[in-house]
Amino acid sequence: MGTPSSPNAPDPHDGEAAGRLAPSLPRRIAHFDLDTFFVSVERALAPSLIGKPVLVGGSGGRGVVASASYESREFGCHSAQPMSQALRLCPQAVVVPPHFDRYQESSRAFHTILRDESPIVEPSGIDEAYADLTGLGEGGTGARAAAERVRARTREELNLPVSVCIAGSRTTAKVGSDRAKPDGLLEVPVGEDAAFLAPLPLRELPLVGPRFGEQLAALGVRTIGGAAALDARWLEQRFGRAGVVLSERARGLDPTPVRAGGRGARSVSREVTFGEDVTDLERLRRTLRDHAERVGSDLRGQQRRARTVTLKLRWADFTTLNRSRTLERPVQSTDDLAAAGWGLLDELLARESLRPVRLIGLGATNLVEDAVQLGFDDGSARRAEQVDRAVDEIRGRYGRDSVTRGM
């Protein structure tokens, strides 16, 4: 395989390096995407759901659809839709509350199959992954055969349908796996990425969301080929970096390598939308502390610390604010994270009065490896960390609700 063994080795797919290094094999990038993932996992566990319109998501007043079966989509249901709206469109739908631990488990098993069958796998979210199948050869050893094995094993071992596209770049493979659904395999022949993309609606290109799509539609551009035909410099002037990327991707150019294992997370956060708006400051502070506990636990599990802590607030009118603070020393403990969150909340409320709060969240960014030496006078910090470790340990064994801390 053309994998660089050292992190500093030039990427064989990156621009000129490709020509100088290997006798450049055509890139074969696969994108795997589990179909209606949450619904499929629920069906694997409860076959009575098969064939019915199923909506996985929050059923409360503010719940949204996380995953909608194809039967429900016939009625106009889709993910991210308010559940109330989905049920108006399809009253006979079966609503299933999400079971994220089950999805994590299936996701892990799926990624294990992928790593068995492909040399370089980059997970991309819970239900998809890229694989670099370049140089696998033809026939039984080829890229297509590897993709077929993944599909067969995922179906047999996990009872889950997965769609895949093999193409010359990540972007094309990603667009193609959507086109392959449900439960299909699509291969874009070598050198035909641009031709494959050209007739497709622009909105199918990742990067083009509602907003960008609208701006481009206003210019009369509605297909990927239409964007490919525009002058690249003009796109850059008009849209900046997004214009440059659009121009390249629309022409099937995307040298981004598949990175084995992906990268570590850049941030960790928790947030909650209350069932009803909250004006009780103590309740907000308690919620922030719960978030700090879980964010801290994640950081400790990853052996990382955060240099920056962010408070997120959403008022009842959906206005959303972020307030962040970069600390002198990177933090990891529940106490430090909570203190930073409370401080940000206090500062905010010193400037504007408290309005009914719909959502409150706490985030940790600017993450660094946990190599910080505590000074000799940091006895209290050391004790706090010991408590954190003990709490993590008990929760790991007996579940999250097994320990309750005071404020």
Partner DNA sequence: TCTGGGGTCCTAGGACCC
Tell me which residues are annotated as active site: 128
| Minimum CB–partner distance for residue 220 and DNA (Å) | 17
Span from 104-112, 239-247, 374-382, 394-402 in contact with DNA (CB under 7 A): 239-247
| Whether 266 contacts 364, CB under 8 Å | no
What is the number of alpha carbons within 13 Å of residue 342 lying toward its C-beta?
A: 16
| Whether 278 contacts 357, CB under 8 Å | yes
Q: What is the CA radius of gyration of the chain?
A: 24
Of positions 185, 268, 331, 338, contacts DNA by CB under 7 A = 268
d(CA 69, CA 93): 9
Tell the burial category of 308 from Cβ atoms under 10 Å away from its Cβ (0-12, 13-18, 19+).
Answer: middle
Of positions 28, 270, 289, 300, contacts DNA by CB under 7 A = 270
Of positions 207, 229, 374, 390, contacts DNA by CB under 7 A = 207
Of positions 104, 237, 267, 402, contacts DNA by CB under 7 A = 267
d(CA 103, CA 100): 5
Residue ranges in 20-79 that form contacts with DNA under rule CB under 7 A? 58, 61-64, 66, 79
Interface with DNA includes 11 (CB under 7 A)?
A: no
Interface with DNA includes 300 (CB under 7 A)?
A: no
Interface with DNA includes 208 (CB under 7 A)?
A: yes
Nearest to 202 by CA among 184, 232, 229, 162: 229
Contacts of 2 (CB under 8 A, 6+ apart): 12, 13, 21, 22, 25, 132, 134, 135
Interface with DNA includes 206 (CB under 7 A)?
A: yes
Residue ranges in 305-364 that form contacts with DNA under rule CB under 7 A? 307-308, 317-318, 320-326, 358-359, 361, 363
| Minimum CB–partner distance for residue 65 and DNA (Å) | 8
Interface with DNA includes 304 (CB under 7 A)?
A: no
Interface with DNA includes 89 (CB under 7 A)?
A: no
Interface with DNA includes 127 (CB under 7 A)?
A: yes
50: which 2 tokens?
């098969």
Nearest to 128 by CA among 158, 102, 162, 104: 162
- Cis check for the bond before 182: say yes or no (omega within 30 of 0): yes
Interface with DNA includes 271 (CB under 7 A)?
A: yes
| Minimum CB–partner distance for residue 18 and DNA (Å) | 22
The contact set with DNA (CB under 7 A) reads 58, 61-64, 66, 79-80, 82, 84, 87-88, 124-128, 174, 205-213, 240-242, 263, 265-273, 298, 307-308, 317-318, 320-326, 358-359, 361, 363, 365-366
